[in-house]
Amino acid sequence: MSRRPFTLADAGREFWRHPSPWLIGGTLLIAVCARMSVGDWQRTDALVPVTMIAVFPFVEWVIHVCILHWRPRRIGRLRIDPLLARKHRDHHVDPRRIPLIFIPWQALLWILPVAVGAALLAFPRPGMGLTFLVCLTVLGLAYEWCHYLIHSDYKPKTAAYRAVWRNHRQHHFKNEHYWFTVTSAGTADRVLGTCPDPATVSTSPTARNLHATTTAR
């Protein structure tokens, strides 16, 4: 008998079994309610989502390169090896292990409060800051969904998603030094020189074991 295809509905049911979407989604709901309550809609609010969407691929790239691919270091007796980097190395070891696909909930316990603080303190108007928080949590949910879907059994149905799917899987199974964006393909990687022709790139022996320092957990 043929196996039943893995559908978007199947993916959605699995997605919401994990804490990260609930934490980000709950923050989004609170942010939307607060934004509607504050009001004070101005033209500058429209600049926030436009700017964030344009910048987001570069933010993904920087976080991926500088934080997730952090190489453990020692300063004297102190070992500097953040949770996000450790979990990401485990994710490369076993890309199909579903809990490792998501942002660790322990990290979100400080990331989300920092985001709320930035929204309230770093903008000239509370309404504009809340617009930022709404957009940030929407992008966070989109990132988690896209990243999970790429690593799931769901098969690409459109050319746009196929390009994103191929881009990220090349990072995991071809060479970890390239293709750092997750929710887009040929954006920040192309600008920053990490989107080569895959035919010209050799398969890395450490794509499944970053820095050759970790074992699956």
Beta-bridge partner residues of 79: 74
Q: How far apart are CA 92 and CA 101, in angstroms?
A: 10
Residues 166, 167, 168, CA angle at the centre, nearest 5°?
95
Domain ranges of the chain: 8-156
Q: How far apart are CA 151 and CA 217, in angstroms?
A: 18
How does residue 215 score in pLDDT terms, banded at 50, 70 and 90? very low
Beta-bridge partner residues of 74: 79
Beta-bridge partner residues of 78: 75
pLDDT for 86 beyond 80 = yes
How does residue 188 score in pLDDT terms, banded at 50, 70 and 90? very high
Handedness of CA 182, 183, 188, 189 (dihedral sign): positive
Does the global pTM surpass 0.95? Answer: no
pLDDT for 24 beyond 60 = yes
> Residues of the chain with pLDDT > 70: what percent?
96
